[in-house]
Amino acid sequence: MSSQTNSPKPAFVHESSFVDDHVSIGAGSTVWHFSHILPHTNIGERVSIGQNVVVGPDVSIGSGCKIQNNVSIYKGVTLEEDVFCGPSCVFTNVTTPRAFVSRKDEFAQTLVKRGASIGANATIVCGHNIGAFALIAAGAVVTRDVPDFALMAGVPARRIGWVSREGEVLGPDLVCPRTNETYEETANGLVPKTSS
């Protein structure tokens, strides 16, 4: 009788994609068609990178992230664990670009915290943080920091509500309809309410 091991699957990179030197890709991650991973980029485990995605250089992507087709994640952007980037969402890294002025030493930092989701065709203007488990609606343009668990929509994006860890829109009682978890509002956004 043979014994089975639970060792993680190795990373998979499609033959049409390019992975430069000094790149780390964690076990179970996939890089699909026509993508390019630039130098000094670290990709965690179980990350799904879709078609026509560019990552790097000098970018960190946490484990469990899902990056859909046609997304570019430039230097200055950091994704924590379990971040979802919808198709064709956009990250910028310079606030006042000019084709004829080099601003590589002026890249602004953008941090997308654990569990956040960014909808299709949304734009994240650089220099802002997206809070943990926040949900950015499709087509929104984020021009300021986003609180934890915030539901953001519009141009420019504004908070139109709150969402739970599972992405369910919360009512006034701040109770997740999927899990019955209760939240409370703080200065930094929502936090799960602890039972006393």
- Which pLDDT score is estimated for 3? 45
- Which pLDDT score is estimated for 195? 62
Cα distances (angstroms) measured from residue 165 to each of 52, 72, 150 = 29, 26, 11
Mapped onto helix, strand or coil, the DSSP state of residue 104 is helix
Closest CA to 86 of 113, 129, 116: 116
- Which pLDDT score is estimated for 104? 86
Quote the pTM value.
Answer: 0.93
Q: For the structural domain made of 12-192, what CATH number should be given?
A: 2.160.10.10
- Which pLDDT score is estimated for 99? 94
Q: Which residues have a Cβ under 8 Å from the Cβ of 40 and sit 6 or more positions away?
A: 22, 23, 56, 57, 58
- Which pLDDT score is estimated for 18? 97
How far is residue 172's CA from residue 51's CA, in Å, rounded to a whole number? 39
User: What is the CB neighbour count within 10 angstroms for residue 92?
Assistant: 18
**Residue showing tokens 């964690």:** 26
Q: Where are the domains of the chain?
A: 12-192
How far is residue 37's CA from residue 77's CA, in Å, rounded to a whole number? 14
Angle at 123 between CA 192 and CA 58, to 5 degrees: 85
- Which pLDDT score is estimated for 8? 76
Question: pLDDT tens digits for the chain (196 residues)?
Answer: 444 556 679 999 999 999 999 999 999 999 999 999 999 999 999 999 999 999 999 999 999 999 999 999 999 999 999 999 999 999 999 999 999 999 988 899 999 999 999 999 999 999 999 999 999 999 999 999 999 999 999 999 999 999 999 999 999 999 999 999 999 999 989 999 976 5
Letter string b/e over residues 74-88, b meaning 16 or more CB atoms within 10 A of that residue's CB = bbbbbbbbbbbbbbb
